[in-house]
Amino acid sequence: TQRTLVLLKPDTVRRGLVGQVLARFEAKGLTLVAMQLRHVDAELADTHYAEHVERDFYPPLRDFVTSGPLVALVLEGDEAIEVVRSLNGATDGRKAAPGTIRGDLALSNRENLVHGSDSTESAEREIGIWFPDL
Ligand code: ATP
């Protein structure tokens, strides 16, 4: 079994989709082990997105993730990291396959509703950032 860090980004909260998106993860069979509504500051955004801080797309991404509260959660289950990423769909909502969260509900490359850790190393790092007591 694996744990992964998921963010329901500020667009999910703003659009009233938290319940719908969370329901997809739960329906899949993943177990919720931690959850928190949080309005993040630039420092936490930079820590979470350390590998992207120098990228051209990062300043507007930072503005977006700090634009309102988001929901951070930890999900647990068999192959949870890969399962969450496949439920999330491709980064760009315009290209994500129908049936995925982004494919069904997002139309943007930046405001794409969700984040999921991309490896066991990043899951461990990100869970430590968002839920240091876990
Ligand atoms: P996440 O890491 O959020 O699960 P991902 O792994 O599909 O998404 P990354 O390449 O890690 O995507 O990019 C992180 C986030 O940065 C994306 O989810 C998106 O919000 C934003 N992003 C990535 N590429 C672009 C881009 N070209 N233009 C605008 N925003 C982008």
Q: Is 91 annotated as a binding residue?
A: yes
Q: Is 120 annotated as a binding residue?
A: no
Distance 109 CA to ligand 1 centre (A): 7
Cα gap 100→3, rounded to integer Å: 20
Average pLDDT of the segment spanning 57-74: 98
Q: Show which residues are catalytic.
A: 115
Q: What is the pTM of this model?
A: 0.96
Computed over every residue of the chain, the mean pLDDT equals: 98
Report pLDDT for 26.
Answer: 98
Banded model confidence at residue 123, pLDDT cuts 50, 70, 90: very high
Which helix (H) or strand (E) element contains residue 23?
helix 18-28
CA-nearest residue for atom 18, ligand 1, is: 91
Question: Which ipTM did the prediction report?
Answer: 0.89
Report pLDDT for 130.
Answer: 98
Banded model confidence at residue 22, pLDDT cuts 50, 70, 90: very high
| Contact present, 134 and 34 (Cβ < 8 Å) | yes
Ligand 1 pocket check for 57: Cβ under 6 Å: yes
Average pLDDT of the segment spanning 33-46: 98
Q: Does domain 2-130 have CATH number 3.90.1150.10?
A: no
Distance 93 CA to ligand 1 centre (A): 10
